[in-house]
Amino acid sequence: MGLTRLFHDGRRGRGGVLCLLLYFMAAGAGYAQTADTARAADQPKKKFNFAKIFSNTAGSADDPNFKPRKVAFVLGPGLYYTPSTSLAFTLGGQLFFDDMDKRLTHTDLPADKKALIAGRRSNLLIGANASILKQFSLELDPELYFLDRRLMLKGIIYGGYWPSWFWGIGGDTPDENKETYDELITTADLRLTYDVGHGVFLGVGGRYFFYYVLSATEGLLTETTVPGQDIAMGVGPMLSLIYDTRNDNTRPLKGALISFDALYNTPIRDFSGHYGKATMDVRYYFHIPQAKQKIDHVIAVNLVASSALGDDIPFQELPRMADKRYARGILKDRYIDQHMMALQAEYRFYWKWLGFAVFGCVGDVGPTLAEAWSFGKWTYGVGLRLKPFTSLPFTIRGDMGFYQGKPQFYVGINELF
């Protein structure tokens, strides 16, 4: 399982039924503060805005005396349940570093440019989790802009103790293979890219990982030889290409994203082998607005493909059918192999602060690209969206995904893709 259950869906599994009561209250408070002028004049004391407990920008849209924050934030607690965590608690949020980008306040900046910058603000996503099964994790997801927004730093830093499940390698592993194991994890995946123009970013990065399996029940991890069954450690450079024309990277309505990462792993001692890994992510958004009704219809399409080739690849680093951005309904580690492909589509309906989604995904894993291309597995589901703060690009997301008729629940912030 993983880290940011509430915020960014975690690192090791994406189930969750979140207790969003506090956020519902915050949303209602944030939007219910527009009392008419006459009533406000009769009341010498301002009504308490419950949303201000969770964000230092709550109420800014209706407050003429509001001063922009150098660091705007949304922070709050949550509660969720999954089969592998039982009852779990989370504390997370998002910090926006607007002081790093003075262009947001330039009066001579065109409106479309200012809207684009507002939709891609320097921010840090934070999530901390703990369960009654003594599972703990912490994740930091930075996306920071420098040099007049020409330089972008983006990635994931994760650490935790999080028991998980192993079914074996391949797309046909049976359910009865399930084996529980306890694991210590630290990973860092960072890339620094430069804007060469027209939405194209080129850059370099690196990945470090450390997996330490502390204990496992009797099964494939203990009775066979599987890379990563004891200790796995590696580090390596990465080349990154990004083409991004989305109007917003948290709740996109239109545009496209194409990203490609190529990683070479250099083993540390004998804890992993020499191998390469390539991942491609293609997204496109069709926008149908209803301006008078303030309604946005969006059809989002996404293709993800990943391959790992080489020797002694730890099973934790193999491509997987389900990840935090696709195949909702399948547990994250259920199907893993050297190649993976997933194609998903989602219809999104937004009206003011409320929205919902209907989605589906087909894909598979296999030892060859041809087997992964078979798209032998499919999932589907529905979701709810809430945007409690008008001044921040922040959306609470709740999804219910189905695979083979069995539901899985997911909670996070912002759209998955």
Number of domains the chain contains: 1
Residue 8 lies in a domain: no
Beta pairing class for 164-166 and 151-161: unpaired
HSE (CB half, 13 Å, CA atoms) of 236? 21
* 319 and 307 Cβ atoms separated by less than 8 Å: yes
- State the pLDDT at residue 24: 37
CB neighbour list of residue 237: distance below 8 Å, 6 or more residues apart: 204, 205, 206, 263, 264
pTM of the predicted structure, to 2 decimals = 0.81
* 400 and 194 Cβ atoms separated by less than 8 Å: no
- The encoded tokens of residue 189 equal 């995946």
- State the pLDDT at residue 134: 85
Alpha-carbon span 283 to 244, nearest angstrom: 9
- State the pLDDT at residue 73: 86
Residue 15 lies in a domain: no
Residue 226 lies in a domain: yes
The conformation of residue 387, written as its DSSP 8-state character, comes to -
- State the pLDDT at residue 244: 93
> Which stretches of the chain drop beneath a pLDDT of 70?
1-51, 59-64, 66, 80-84, 101-109, 111-119
Q: What is the DSSP string of 275-338?
A: EEEEEEEEEEEEEEEETTTTEEEEEEEEEEEEEEEESS--GGGS-BS-BTTB-TTS-TTSSB-S
The string of pLDDT tens digits covering residues 16-45 is 433 333 343 344 444 434 444 444 445 545
Residue 12 lies in a domain: no
The CATH number of residue 151's host domain is 2.40.160.50
- State the pLDDT at residue 63: 67
* 202 and 193 Cβ atoms separated by less than 8 Å: yes
Which of 114, 122, 119, 110 is CA-nearest to residue 149? Answer: 122
Residue 58 lies in a domain: yes
Residue 11 lies in a domain: no
The conformation of residue 47, written as its DSSP 8-state character, comes to P
Q: Which domain holds residue 256?
A: 21-413
Alpha-carbon span 210 to 324, nearest angstrom: 20
Residue 182 lies in a domain: yes
